[in-house]
Amino acid sequence: MILIDTDMLIEILDKHSDLGDKASKKVMASGERFCTSAVNLHEILYGYIKRAELVDKSLLIPVLEYTKTDAILSSRLEAEIEEKSDAKLRLDSMIAAVAINNHCKLLTNNHKDFNQFKGLEFF
């Protein structure tokens, strides 16, 4: 399964950009199921609500919930990163934990931050 990160959801749903079109075609060609996380849904809805835009499109995407198991892993991931740098990656660690715990490959354009999380696979 492929978990689509917020930055790519914006490209696919909102901008209809070349990057979004390519990503969408790649996901469809893979034949794999796709989803996002409840954390990503929060980020998307927050942006839409802030700009007073319709949110209907984003509500059609299957969503993986953020669970107690995810909270345990994401807190460990975040603490490991903070030991090494000043980076504040709370939401990214939550998204990474959902992807790792659900054996999802992450589709993102934000490899700089997500590359720091051990055990995370990319699409």
pTM for the complete prediction? 0.88
pLDDT in tens, 41-53: 999 999 888 887 7
Measured at the alpha carbon of residue 2, what is the angle toward residues 85 and 100, in degrees to the nearest 5?
45
**Fold (topology level) of 2-122:** Rossmann fold (3.40.50)
The dihedral built from the CA positions of residue 119, 37, 2 and 6, taken in this order, carries a sign that is negative
- Please, which contacts does 81-84 make with residues 24 or more away whose CB atoms are closer than 8 Å? 81/116, 81/117, 84/116
pLDDT in tens, 72-83: 999 999 999 999
Per-residue pLDDT of the chain (123 residues; tens, 9 = 90+): 999 999 999 999 877 789 999 999 999 999 999 999 999 999 999 988 888 776 777 788 999 999 999 999 999 999 999 998 887 899 999 999 999 999 999 999 999 999 999 999 999
What is the DSSP-derived secondary structure letter of residue 92? H
Spell out the domain ranges in the chain: 2-122
Do 56 and 41 touch, CB atoms closer than 8 A? Answer: no
